[in-house]
Amino acid sequence: MSSLQKRYIPQLIQLSYFLFGALCLSIKSGYSIAPTILVFFLLTKQRPTLDKNARILLCAFLAYVVVQGISILWDGGSLKEFDRPSRALMAIFILFAAIKYPPRFLWLMNGFAVGAVAAGIRAIWDRQFAGLVRAFDWMAPIQGGDISMSLGILSLCGLMWAIKNAHTRYMFFYAVATLMGIFGSILSGSRGGWVLFPVILVVAYQLADTKSENGLSTCPICICSNLRTASDRRHQTI
């Protein structure tokens, strides 16, 4: 790898972490752009060495893909039905990327916060200007509302980190992002994202009170799971 690649590739991968949160609800299927970038880089570079826990997680993802693929073929399904298991394949690449290039706290958290603000603005636009009955009706209000709530709650984790470390500028930014993400969920009419809200508050407090940066660095995989769950709920509703 040339010195130029060593300098810029890690920055581009950090940018993809940022875009993952920032583009979730900004554009249609925005959450698939960052994983696509990671897939491109990881297919062209040496894969990281996996420890025992990472190999177990990798096997679990692959087992899910294989079982779903066999089920689809057995039932005579179409290639379109492979959409959901394909997201597990994306999660594998994100796992590789997170091991080889661990997400930097502010890149990741700022991406979530920008995404939460964008979600709130988009929700207001949908309801007040686009004339939609529910925010995110252009993609699926349940999915959009749950993603918006996830971004808002992650911004709340950032807010607690900023309060603990007395970062006034980030306090304001993450506070606004938290409110906008939650407000976007309210405008969508989605209620599923509120079920674990009290538990999330406790976990967020613990993250802020202990090793917030290390704890939040694992969020890309967690959010992928949340997005896939929300998407599965959308397919079941439809």
- Which pLDDT score is estimated for 5? 62
Residue pLDDT, tens place only, 103-124? 899 999 999 999 999 999 999 9
What are the 10-residue block averages of pLDDT along the chain, 238 residues in total? 67 88 84 79 68 83 88 81 78 78 91 95 92 87 89 89 89 94 90 72 63 46 45 44
**CB proximity list for 7: less than 8 A, separation 6 or greater:** none
- Which pLDDT score is estimated for 52? 81
Residue pLDDT, tens place only, 180-211? 999 999 999 887 777 767 766 676 666 655 54
Long-range contacts: 31-37, Cβ < 8 Å, 24+?
A: 31/147, 31/227, 32/90, 35/90, 35/93, 35/94, 35/224, 37/12, 37/13
- Which pLDDT score is estimated for 218? 43
